Structure 1
């Protein structure tokens, strides 16, 4: 089974705006340098986005804006004194390992 086109679009759109420094939820937050110096912060942003994202049985993304908000809230709190509300739950910030190399 492949990921849905809706999921693929959500992920690539989020990745583009994060990587380009133009995400509308991150105005006035200086974070682009983290890509070269603190990749674990960027890893957590994408982990939160993926963990929070919900899809229906057909793969249609149900909460794209909310998943972006939770992920960008992490980045805001990492780069400034922003306080995430509500605080992250453990399941939102869980990092999963990669699949086996033969897949």
Structure 2
């Protein structure tokens, strides 16, 4: 990205968030990992879980100097792993989520 002040997220980043929200909302986020788990009701019942899913996605997402996303699939997978662990107590996230992946930013 340019050194100038960025006033909007790059288009690729906005698209990554849009697709993440779409997959999350329609129940197709990482179909293999979350197969048979109705996580949507759980995320809506506990707003902080939805907040954490987005935080993990945003924290893991990498963007290059041109504003292109580098790992949106990995970011989706890490969020999906966290969701699976919340819905399936027997599931272990591998590798375990690092503190920076679950950090909540903002006021």
Q: Judge conservation of contact 2:42–2:87 (CA < 8 Å) in 1.
A: no
Structure 1 CA distance for aligned equivalents of residues 25 and 12 of structure 2: 20
Corresponding residue number in structure 1 for 2:12? 6
Q: SS of the residue aligned with 2:96? A: coil
Q: Judge conservation of contact 2:44–2:50 (CA < 8 Å) in 1.
A: no
Pairwise CA distance, 1:77: 0.3
Match of 1:29 among 14, 26, 37: 37
Pairwise CA distance, 1:22: 2.1
Pairwise CA distance, 1:34: 2.1
Structure 1 CA distance for aligned equivalents of residues 82 and 43 of structure 2: 15
Corresponding residue number in structure 1 for 2:73? 65
Moved over 6 A (4+): none
Q: SS of the residue aligned with 1:17? A: helix
TM-score by length of 2: 0.85
Pairwise CA distance, 1:91: 0.4
Match of 1:44 among 40, 43, 52: 52
Corresponding residue number in structure 1 for 2:3? none
Pairwise CA distance, 1:35: 3.7
Deviates more, 1:46-55 or 1:34-43: 34-43
